[in-house]
Amino acid sequence: MVKAYLRYEPAASFGVIVSGESNITYDNSGKHLLAPALEKIGIWNVKLHNCTKTLEPLPSSSSNGPSLAVTSIAVSPPSSSQIASGYAEGSIRIWDSDKGICDTTLNGHKGAVTALRYNKPGSFLASGGKDNDVIVWDVVGETGLFRLRGHRDQVTDLVFLDSGRKLVTSSKDKFLRVWDLDTQHCMQIISGHHTEIWSIDIDPEERYLVTGSADPELRFYTIKHDLADGQLIANKSETDVNKSETDVSTDLPTVNKWEVLKSFGEIQRQSKDRVATVRFNKNGNLLACQVAGKTVEIFRRLDESESKRKAKRRISRKKEKKAAKEGLEATEKAETDIRAERVSTPVVTVQDIFKLHQTLRSGKKISSISFSPVISKDSQATLALSLNNNILEFYAIKNSSATKSSAIDGQGHHADVRSVTLSSDNTLLMSTSHNAIKIWNPTTLSCLHTIDSGYGLCGLFVPGNKYAVIGTKDGTLEFIQVTSGTRVEVVEAHGGSIQSIALTPGGTGFLTGSADHDIKFWEFQRAGEGHLTASPARSLKMNDDVLAVAVSPDGKFIAVALLDSTIKVFYTDSLKFRFSLYGHKLPVFCMDISSDGALLVSGSADKNVKIWGLDFGDCHKSLFAHADSVTGVNFVSNTHYFFTVGKDRLVKYWDADKFELLLTLEGHHAEVWCLAVSNRGDFIVTGSHDRSIRRWDRTEEPFFIEEEKEKRLEAMFESDIDNAPENKYGPKEEHPGEGAVALAGKTTQETLTAADTIIEALDMAAAELKRIAEHEEYISKGRVSEFRPNILMLGLSPSDYVLRALSSVPTNDLEQTLLALPFSDALVLYSYLENWTSIPDKVELVARVATLLTQLHHHQLISTPSARPLMTRLTGKVHQGVKEFRDLIGFNLAAMRHSLQVIASKSDAVLRDAKTSILEIRSQNTKRVEARADTKQEKKRKKKQKKSDGGHVWS
């Protein structure tokens, strides 16, 4: 009989406030901050400092955990409540922030999405990726419009111009490209940067574009916009205002029609680190330049009058310095020039407009910044910072300085999680890091206590779960009172770091193994204040660093793993040597003994797991377990099943009797350092270098080893479609020089499955049509027989069944799905379109399918005689159907407007948009509350004044 096992699945992850792979951004209200948390997006309430909502993609078979790391976030304009997030495997998800659900998934990039930006109406979304491509998406239609190719390295940032008619992109190839989205071509290429361009941004009025790179300066460009007649002019910026009429008349004939961006000047930066992000605030009067370090340089944009005064002062100082050098005659000439300059308007440069306001310095390296769209009364702006140590900070930028107003830092560790330990009743979880210990509730995932400590490498709960013991890197033992969350005792235990700690079976003491070659036995005691402490009872000297210790459940043996790659087993009572376990080629980092004391499992830096018998010390099996070092191993209580974790980010489930891999659990984004298994085996907890703690629950779903092996093989073959033989050995496309356009989507497992579904439906419909024709022939010959439809077609006609299969394809996958169809099947599908034009709600789908098939197979269609009359008939019917559908929508809109006018004429109230009305009511209520507060304060002030004046009120 085949043995069945129970499956473990990811249940929860916690401990991550913000990860550094993506940007942070405020929502349109300014009340919430969107922060990436590995594969999630946390929506944090800025005032309450709590995570109100989490956007997490559902796990799918075609994508594993680490590839789903969030790499970019963009918020749509206030007219919509959408949030776009890009991921490391190239997908983009559009979220409804109100409902917290994913509306659609867009697949187009072959590398990580590095930049996302909405246009002002929110109808288009542009994305740039590590595959050097830029894709423009139709958010309403949920499909990709086109792919722009031309950059020779990763796209780093992008912005829309002219209400979405143009797009400016930056790349690591040191070039800026301006794309005309109407004609879909690159209209300008700007060079001049000496290093990679990392970020670009424009002010809200679209006057200036600023770029940041590793160069020591910020570069500014003026922006020219289209007029109705198609000419290009510059916005009336400070430079245009200050040009004389003669200068303008001489410059107009030399204006380049394709020159959208024109160099305006440079501003020197203070920091020598490369620029990571440049962003304007909502008003455009502040520009923040975040470098890849701990500083943010904030520039203030001066208004027109201030810029003119600064330009005049600059010119005056320049003339005076020149006069001082050349002498008295030059002085008289300089005075004449200065008077003439005062009469004429000076030319304003970028240094006259942008001035360094202040420099903000943080304690840790900054990963991302974001300006709040709401400006408070006591500050110019609010700036949010995400730090690389899992902290969010908020700064109020004032006239004189930038002050830190608040921070979100208590919900996670600031460095990697080095150990996790569960209490005996599984109600408490303890995790250690470089400077703190955290006590969690593993069920509700809430942090109960945070305790300052040394660098904790290992820990255990004392029986009773009232106290816990931590072994630190400094060689000390720290005793923690769990109920109060305080450190009650620190004992100097070893001369080196304590690598491992193990509780004795009786619960009266514990063992510690250290890098000072000592193993010490400790007994619990009560200190003078009544707190728990421990004193050393005996010790065992080894000849090398101790990396791990384990005690058999019956207390008979002690196993010690040493730096020399051996495991030594001793008797507990006499500390006599029993035997050594040889076989590992590199040091053993972890080991565990089964509940019955029969097996010992060890994990090593040589990527292998070895199963040993403790009766004779023989190696039962050596398993190649992980692609990197094995860092943790634990048996499930009362079984011979065990879990391992490694630096390859994986958690694996094994059977020690059959020597088989049962499950591979993916989810962590960095090295997994530790794990803990509950005493009932119903869940496990793992801690990682990515600062996350994850819980994996055992389900009631059974599985079999052979089925899991088949799934792993299928996943191996389907993991990378691009490495198929026809793609692997096919001709490589060259980099286009001046920019090119290509299809927006990409082939995925979902598109191939959808194409197979359509082909299967076409074959089934063809067979059914053949059966119907044969049945009609029988009837014409006088043979009466009952026709039985195919039950697999769900009682639908062949045409409706094919339409059902086509309608099930997601909108964003339709183009690639039709591209995967052979021409013979595409021609059959083309023949069905004529019948579907009579269905009103399918006109849009029919028009899109007809357009795509005609574009993809145009040459074959016009050269196929049977397709020509079909195309002619279909053209007329599609045009007629689209016209009727458009007229119907227009008629309904006109009727709704007329109904609103009729209702408004009969009522004194003005009908408005519901959302606008709610916002106005809220603002009116806020004003009323503020007015009442002001009235109360005024009454109190008059009352105090009356008392001070002796009861008289003076007019």
Convert the pLDDT of each residue in 131-149 to its tens digit. 999 999 999 888 899 999 9
pLDDT value, residue 251? 41
pLDDT at 676: 96
Q: What is the pLDDT of residue 944?
A: 61
pLDDT at residue 911 is higher than 60: no
Which contacts of 63-67 are long-range, i.e. CB under 8 A and separated by 24 or more positions?
63/89, 63/91, 64/666, 65/10, 65/39, 65/649, 65/666, 65/667, 65/668, 65/669, 66/649, 66/666, 66/667, 66/668, 66/669
Q: Can you say whether the dihedral through the CA atoms of 802, 803, 805, 810 is positive or negative?
A: positive
Residue 128: predicted pLDDT:
96
Q: Tell me the C-alpha distance between 362 and 404, whole Å.
A: 9
pLDDT at 581 over 80: yes
Domain map (residue ranges) of the chain = 1-12+544-722, 285-317+348-411, 415-541, 747-886
Lowest mean pLDDT among 51-60, 139-148, 150-159, 177-186: 51-60
Q: Residue 220: which residues within 8 A CB-CB, separation 6 or more? A: 208, 209, 210, 263, 264, 265, 266, 267, 350, 354
- Above pLDDT 70, what percent of the chain? 86
d(CA 610, CA 5) in angstroms, rounded, equals 22
| Model confidence band, residue 365 (pLDDT cutoffs 50, 70, 90) | very high
pLDDT in the model for residue 948:
56
Residue 30's closest CA among 55, 47, 12?
47
Global pTM?
A: 0.84
Q: How far is CA 306 from CA 263, 355, 954, in A?
A: 22, 11, 44
pLDDT above 90 (res 169): yes
- Among 102-106, 211-215, 583-587, 777-781, whose mean pLDDT is lowest? 777-781
| Confidence band for 682, pLDDT divided at 50, 70 and 90 | very high
Q: What is the pLDDT of residue 937?
A: 63
- Report the pLDDT averaged over residues 324-335: 62
Judged against a pLDDT cut of 90, whether residue 41 lies above it is answered with yes
Q: What number is the average pLDDT over the span 8-36?
A: 94
Q: Which amino acid is at 947?
A: K
Q: What is the DSSP letter of 659?
A: T
Query: Could you name the CATH architecture of 415-541?
Result: 7 Propeller (2.130)
Please state the CATH superfamily assignment of the domain spanning residues 1-12+544-722 in this structure.
YVTN repeat-like/Quinoprotein amine dehydrogenase (2.130.10.10)
**pLDDT value at residue 695:** 96
**Predicted local distance difference test score (pLDDT) of residue 712:** 86
Mean pLDDT of 86-92: 93
CA distance 749 to 753: 6
Among 396, 395, 400, CA closest to 379? 396
Given a cut of 70, whether residue 61 has pLDDT beyond it is no
DSSP notation for 777-795: HHHHTT--------GGGTT
Mean pLDDT, residues 490-515: 93
Which two tokens mark 541? 């000297």
Question: What pLDDT is attached to residue 927?
Answer: 60
Q: Which residue has the higher pLDDT, 335 or 506?
A: 506
The C-alpha atoms of residue 87 and residue 112 are separated, in whole angstroms, by 6
Closest by CA to 500, choosing from 562, 426, 593, is 562
Residue 625 clears pLDDT 80, i.e. is over it: yes
Residues in the chain: 955
Mean pLDDT taken over the chain: 86
Give the mean pLDDT of 536-549.
94
**Which of 412 and 341 is assigned the larger pLDDT?**
412
| pLDDT single digits (tens) 446-482 | 999 999 999 999 999 999 999 999 999 999 999 999 9
pLDDT of 242:
44
Tokens encoding 82 = 């959408």
* Average pLDDT of the residues in 877-899: 89
d(CA 39, CA 26): 19
What's the one-letter identity of residue 553? P
Lowest-confidence segment of 552-556, 704-708, 786-790 by average pLDDT? 786-790
pLDDT at position 424: 92
Please give the average per-residue pLDDT across 332-346, as a whole number.
Answer: 57
> Strand ranges (DSSP E) for 588-715?
588-593, 599-604, 608-613, 619-624, 630-635, 641-646, 651-655, 660-665, 672-677, 683-688, 693-703
Q: In a 3-state reduction of DSSP, which class is residue 283?
A: coil
CA dist 593 and 488 (Å) reads 31
- Mean pLDDT computed over 482-507: 93
Give the mean model confidence (pLDDT) for residues 161-184.
Answer: 92
pLDDT at site 863: 86
Band of the pLDDT at 196, cuts 50, 70, 90? very high
Domains 1-12+544-722 and 415-541 share a fold: yes
Residue 229, pLDDT score: 43
